[in-house]
Structure 1
Amino acid sequence: MAGRWTRGAAGAILAGVVAVAAAGCSDGNSGNASDAASKAASAASSAASSLASKGGDALASASAEARQKLSGVKNGVQAKGDVTLGTPAAASDGKATVEVSAKNTASAAKSFAVQVNFTDKHGNLLDVTVVTLKDVAAGSTGDATARSHRKLTGEVHAVVNAALRY
Structure 2
Amino acid sequence: MAGPRIRRTAGGAAVLALALALSGCADDDGDSPAEPSDAASRAASAAASLASEASEVLASATAEAGRRIEEITKGIDVRDDVRLGTPRTDGAGRATVEVTARNTAASARSFVVQIDFTDRDGNLRDTVVVTVSGVPAGQSGRATARSTHALSGDVRAEVARAVRY
Q: Which residue of 1 aligns with 2:76?
A: 77
Give the structure with the larger helix fraction: 1
What amino acid is aligned across from residue 44 of structure 2 in structure 1?
A: A
Offset from partner CA, 1:40-71 (integer Å, 9 cap, x none): 2321222x223312321220121121011101
d(CA) in 2 for partners of 1:50, 1:95: 24
Q: Does the aligned pair in 2 maintain the 1:118–1:159 contact within 8 Å?
A: yes
5+ long unaligned stretches in structure 2: 1-9, 26-32
5+ long unaligned stretches in structure 1: 1-8, 25-31
Q: Which residue of 2 aligns with 1:146?
A: 145
Q: Which residue of 2 aligns with 1:126?
A: 125
Q: Does the aligned pair in 2 maintain the 1:62–1:149 contact within 8 Å?
A: no
Shift of 1:121: 0.3
Q: Which residue of 2 aligns with 1:36?
A: 36
Q: Does the aligned pair in 2 maintain the 1:76–1:165 contact within 8 Å?
A: yes
Q: Aligned residues: percent identity?
A: 47
2:45 aligned with 1:45, yes or no? yes
d(CA) in 1 for partners of 2:98, 2:115: 10
Offset from partner CA, 1:67-126 (integer Å, 9 cap, x none): 111011131001000000011111111111100000001110000000100000000001
d(CA) in 2 for partners of 1:67, 1:74: 12
- Secondary structure, counterpart of 2:137 in structure 1: coil
Size of the aligned set, in residue pairs, is 140
TM-score calculated relative to the size of structure 2: 0.77
Superposition RMSD in Å = 2.2
- Superposed, 1:95-114 pairs within 5 Å as 95-114=94-113
TM-score calculated relative to the size of structure 1: 0.77
d(CA) in 2 for partners of 1:86, 1:69: 23
d(CA) in 2 for partners of 1:102, 1:74: 19
Shift of 1:133: 0.5
d(CA) in 1 for partners of 2:96, 2:50: 23
d(CA) in 2 for partners of 1:51, 1:112: 35
